[in-house]
Amino acid sequence: MLHHFIELVVPNIIYLLEILGVFIITFTSLKCFIRYAARGFDLSDDVIKIELARALSLGLTFLLGGEILSTLFAKDLKHIFTIAGIVVIRVALTYVLHWEITSDMDHCNSFSTLKERVACRQDVVQQKSSNKH
């Protein structure tokens, strides 16, 4: 009974996960490209880059879930090795994207802190110059 249920339901879940992953990647890629183009193709905008990397990571996670579920229907060892290879590649991509997101967010945070320091120094200089007068 459970085996019959798995054969009926799980393939639909796999397709749904794959469609969701592709939709997330496609929709966010188009959205980020439009924002990127609207800002004059400014490569220094890390916010768009971080948003796109997060969407790619999320989309790959959905695709990875579908691949893991597809191991339930593996007919032979060759098919399992193929799925395992795909899973390894997707996990590596997700890890690299996570690393990139983290480093970009650290860069943005340090830049924000630097901007705050510059603004604070400018305030101090202005206060000192106004105190002299």
* Inside any domain, residue 131: no
Query: Residue 124's pLDDT is what?
Result: 47
Domain that holds residue 95: 2-103
* Inside any domain, residue 127: no
Query: Residue-wise pLDDT tens for the chain (133 aa)?
Result: 888 888 899 999 999 999 999 999 999 999 999 999 998 888 777 788 888 988 998 999 999 999 889 888 888 888 889 888 988 998 898 888 888 888 877 766 665 555 555 555 555 445 556 655 5
What are the phi and psi torsion angles at 29 (to 5°)? -60, -45
* Inside any domain, residue 122: no
Q: Which distant-in-sequence residues (6+ apart) come within 8 Å of 106 by Cβ?
A: none
* Inside any domain, residue 18: yes
* Inside any domain, residue 113: no
Q: Using CA atoms, how far apart are residues 92 and 57, in angstroms rounded to an integer? A: 11
N- to C-terminal Cα separation, the chain: 89
Q: Which pTM was predicted? A: 0.69
What CA–CA distances, in Å, run from 92 to 2, 63, 101, 129? 33, 13, 14, 55
